[in-house]
Amino acid sequence: MATTLVVTEKPDAALHVAEALSIKRKPKKVSVDGVPFYEVQKDEDRILVCSALGHLYAVAAKGNEARSQYPVWDFGWKPKHLAERGQRKQQKFIESISKVSKEADRFINACDYDIEGSLIGYTILKYACDGADQKAQRMKFSTLTTKELRDAYAKVSPQLDFSLAYAGMCRHEVDWLYGINLSRALTQSAYKASHRYATLSTGRVQGPTLRFVVEREREIETFVPTPYWVLKTIVDVDGKTIEAEYEIERFEVKSQAESTIKECAGKNGLIEKLESRTYRLSPPTPFDLSALQAEAYRHFGFTPRAALGIAERLYLDQLISYPRTSSQKLPSSIGYEEIMKGLSQIDAYRSVTAMLSASGTLVPNEGKKDDPAHPAVYPTGGVPKRMLDAREQKLFDLVVRRFLATFGQTATKQSDKAVIKVGDHSFFLRGSRILEKGWISLYGPYAKFEEITLPTLKEGQEVSITEISLEEKYTQPSSRYNPSSLLKAMEEAEIGTKATRADIVETLYRRGYVKELRMVATPLAFRVTEILTNYCPKVIDVTFTRELEGKMEQIESGKQTREHVVVETVDYLKPIVEGLKTKEDQIGEELTNIITEMWRASITLSVPCPKCGSILKVVRNPKTRKRFIGCSGKWEKKCTFGLPVPQFGVLTLLEKRCPECGFQMVQVRSKGRRPMVSCPNCYVNKLKAPKPTEEVTIKPTVSK
């Protein structure tokens, strides 16, 4: 009897794989030193399905130097618990997998089919399973449905996808070399000068990304608006008042706008021409990850990282396909009809799926982007087996409706325009309406079109100008990035990967480089970017990062070797980092004030103490170490004002004021959670407020 060890990426995936492979009986859950495994009997063979917890191995320095030491060029792959702090759980998983692997004579990597999944499986098989990577096989799938997992097991690839794993290794190694050396150079320089510890980080992708935000902030900070004037015109058509547009959208000289008003005010106009145009609106393309993240932000305000996290939960629940995809294709092999059939079991989609199925052949409106590993994101047709939370429900509905909409008919829209002549001046009335809804009705609330219906008009008809006035306006600076638009900018610049971009955006917040949802670059972000621009401009150069990205992609296709790219990176970084080391004092000097200022600003509130008017600060109780808002007038004025604040997560004082009491709002960000914005003052007042009288329900007594 042969024993096969199947390695999956997460515990939920392990359960689904085990369930799919056990045809007659339920898989047996066994525990090896507290780590769960699933045992499956298949024909004469025994299959053991284990899971990782994401990466169990990480890049780390070879020696045991202090964490502050740099440059570091000697590295290797180490168990994650030896490379990073707080990874005890990972140690248990490595030890258990290693123990169980001794019983196995066949190995399969069944981690997610992409760079990270290939690397997770490869490192486990290589390091924990005594070099089993060389004889291991690869299961490839895009959903965790029973059918697809069984197919993937039956058609297992005879060997691992080494090129993907090596590309992943290279990416981790290059990023580590960049991050560890440059971040330590900044942190150490600052520490040397200020003796205040602040984690300053930069990286191969983080640096250019931060530069986007800083450049936008610089544009906003140095923006000078210019004035322009628009005409606000109301016309009366058969007793109905409608707003009209003037032929010149904006006047740049005030006197010209004023003379136009003089010439038109109180006069009647004639409808000279009526025009109508019909447009065809194609259905949307299927979701790739970035489009999904953008729509989730637009409709629900989910950050890209949150959207990815929710999508991954839905994937693990067998409800949608693998979300980390760049594809906008839906091959027919995914089984459109089967998916429609599955979705029809959900009340909300029953009528729509029936309509689509009855309309004949199903052909999705595919986009251009492709991904060799996975199709676009689509619903599997599975029905939720547990109660989805509100956020999961929203994202699931978005994925389903987008999938359905891609199969919809083209919609048609009509635009109407009436040209009104007042002397030599032209005004326009505009309307628009949807003639045929097509895919719009399938996409539901996510397709929004404003319809403006014009009254019945005739050429030669007289209309009167009832109101004409001047509105002074100003040119606007570019908008600040939000997490979603920054992610899009990274994608357009071709830096980072679909798997890492959302995390990089989050890191900018965690490091204090940006604040607020509309990303405001902090003085620290400016200073770090300026230092990098002055001392090592290539490090934050998008072109250079993109080139490196291209070389790493070549590893995937076998045109480049991992060793070559890593050696090239070291050769390139060495003089830069050594140069930074010699300028530590200078760099430290440039960072000192900003770090001290940032630290001060991070704990000082902009609202004064409501009791004594002194400065309020976030301080810690020396005994309990709990943080709270305290008054600096405590000693001089004996002020006892204080407010509690959340104890966990990164606390940021926002510029925003509470709409109810005007106190300064605070935000708490914890890893993997939505940022929480609250008013400490209202929180306390709510606690102090008398509780509403409990309602007493009197149950009727039933006499037998």
Partner 1 sequence: MVDHCPLCERLKEPSSEFCSFHNAALKNLEDAYSSWSKAYDGKLTREEYYEKLTALAETGRTVKNLIEHLREKGEGN
**Residue closer to partner 1 (CB basis): 332 or 475:** 475
- Under the criterion CB under 8 A, does residue 223 sit at the interface with partner 1? yes
**Residue closer to partner 1 (CB basis): 65 or 530:** 530
Place of tokens 């060997």: 159
Cα 241 to Cα 25, 269, 421, 507, 572: the distances in Å are 73, 14, 17, 52, 68
Which residue in 596, 595, 618 sits closest to 664, CA to CA?
618
- Under the criterion CB under 8 A, does residue 253 sit at the interface with partner 1? yes
Return the H-helix or E-strand segment holding 58: strand 57-61
- Under the criterion CB under 8 A, does residue 249 sit at the interface with partner 1? no
**Residue closer to partner 1 (CB basis): 222 or 703:** 222
- Under the criterion CB under 8 A, does residue 220 sit at the interface with partner 1? yes
Stretch that binds partner 1, among 25-33, 326-334, 393-401, 471-479 (CB under 8 A): 471-479
Shortest distance in whole angstroms from residue 591 CB to partner 1: 11
Shortest distance in whole angstroms from residue 584 CB to partner 1: 17
**Spatial contact of 485 and 445, defined as CB atoms under 8 Å apart:** no
- Under the criterion CB under 8 A, does residue 538 sit at the interface with partner 1? no
Stretch that binds partner 1, among 183-191, 248-256, 270-278, 693-701 (CB under 8 A): 248-256
Applying CB under 8 A, among 67, 218, 298, 350 the residue interacting with partner 1 is 218
Which residue in 373, 363, 381, 396 sits closest to 285, CA to CA?
363
**Residue closer to partner 1 (CB basis): 21 or 519:** 519
Cα 149 to Cα 20, 145, 201, 307, 668: the distances in Å are 6, 6, 41, 25, 40
- Under the criterion CB under 8 A, does residue 221 sit at the interface with partner 1? yes
Stretch that binds partner 1, among 329-337, 473-481, 497-505, 549-557 (CB under 8 A): 473-481
What the block records as the tokens of 620 is: 């810690």
User: How far apart, in whole angstroms, are the C-alpha atoms of residue 502 and residue 490?
Assistant: 10
Shortest distance in whole angstroms from residue 530 CB to partner 1: 7
- Under the criterion CB under 8 A, does residue 228 sit at the interface with partner 1? yes
Cis ω on the peptide bond leading into residue 455 (within 30° of 0)? Answer: no
Shortest distance in whole angstroms from residue 538 CB to partner 1: 19
**Residue closer to partner 1 (CB basis): 343 or 514:** 514
482-512 burial, b at 16+ Cβ within 10 Å, e below that, comes to bbbbbbbbbbebebbbbbbbbebbbbbbebb
**Residue closer to partner 1 (CB basis): 222 or 697:** 222
Active-site residue identified among 322, 336, 378, 513: 322
Shortest distance in whole angstroms from residue 537 CB to partner 1: 14
**Residue closer to partner 1 (CB basis): 218 or 350:** 218
**Spatial contact of 527 and 581, defined as CB atoms under 8 Å apart:** no
336 flagged as catalytic: no
Question: Could you please report the per-residue DSSP string of 155-167?
Answer: T-BSS--HHHHHH
Applying CB under 8 A, among 252, 275, 451, 655 the residue interacting with partner 1 is 252
Applying CB under 8 A, among 54, 76, 131, 227 the residue interacting with partner 1 is 227
Shortest distance in whole angstroms from residue 608 CB to partner 1: 22
**Residue closer to partner 1 (CB basis): 438 or 512:** 512
Applying CB under 8 A, among 154, 224, 387, 698 the residue interacting with partner 1 is 224
CA torsion, points 599, 603, 606, 607, in degrees to nearest 10?
Answer: -170
CA torsion, points 566, 569, 574, 576, in degrees to nearest 10?
Answer: -160
Shortest distance in whole angstroms from residue 523 CB to partner 1: 9
**Residue closer to partner 1 (CB basis): 263 or 530:** 530
Applying CB under 8 A, among 226, 333, 456, 701 the residue interacting with partner 1 is 226
**Spatial contact of 503 and 305, defined as CB atoms under 8 Å apart:** yes
Shortest distance in whole angstroms from residue 309 CB to partner 1: 35
Between CA 649 and CA 660, with CA 655 as vertex, the angle to 5 degrees is 95
User: How far apart, in whole angstroms, are the C-alpha atoms of residue 628 and residue 425?
Assistant: 65
Binding mask 589-608 for partner 1 (x = CB under 8 A): ----xx--------------
User: How far apart, in whole angstroms, are the C-alpha atoms of residue 473 and residue 221?
Assistant: 19
Show Cβ contacts of residue 217 under 8 Å, excluding neighbours closer than 6 positions: 480, 520, 521, 525, 526
Show Cβ contacts of residue 701 under 8 Å, excluding neighbours closer than 6 positions: none
Helix, strand or coil, per DSSP, at residue 324: coil
Shortest distance in whole angstroms from residue 594 CB to partner 1: 8
Chain residues 108-127 in contact with partner 1, contact rule CB under 8 A = none
- Under the criterion CB under 8 A, does residue 474 sit at the interface with partner 1? yes
Stretch that binds partner 1, among 223-231, 233-241, 369-377, 606-614 (CB under 8 A): 223-231
Show Cβ contacts of residue 671 under 8 Å, excluding neighbours closer than 6 positions: none
User: How far apart, in whole angstroms, are the C-alpha atoms of residue 253 and residue 262?
Assistant: 15
User: How far apart, in whole angstroms, are the C-alpha atoms of residue 417 and residue 105?
Assistant: 75
User: How far apart, in whole angstroms, are the C-alpha atoms of residue 406 and residue 288?
Assistant: 13
| Helices and strands: H and E segment counts in the chain | 21, 23
- Number of residues in contact with partner 1 under rule CB under 8 A: 21
Applying CB under 8 A, among 282, 475, 557, 670 the residue interacting with partner 1 is 475
Stretch that binds partner 1, among 173-181, 221-229, 385-393, 695-703 (CB under 8 A): 221-229
Applying CB under 8 A, among 28, 147, 254, 611 the residue interacting with partner 1 is 254
Stretch that binds partner 1, among 68-76, 81-89, 95-103, 475-483 (CB under 8 A): 475-483
Shortest distance in whole angstroms from residue 670 CB to partner 1: 31
Question: Could you please report the per-residue DSSP string of 530-562?
Answer: HHHHHH-GGGG-HHHHHHHHHHHHHHHTTSS-H
**Residue closer to partner 1 (CB basis): 255 or 361:** 255
Helix, strand or coil, per DSSP, at residue 468: strand
**Residue closer to partner 1 (CB basis): 74 or 252:** 252
**Residue closer to partner 1 (CB basis): 510 or 656:** 656
- Under the criterion CB under 8 A, does residue 476 sit at the interface with partner 1? yes
User: How far apart, in whole angstroms, are the C-alpha atoms of residue 424 and residue 229?
Assistant: 19
- Under the criterion CB under 8 A, does residue 262 sit at the interface with partner 1? no
Shortest distance in whole angstroms from residue 228 CB to partner 1: 8
Query: Residue numbers of the site for partner 1 (CB under 8 A)?
Result: 218, 220-228, 252-255, 474-477, 530, 593-594
Active-site residues: which are they?
Answer: 322
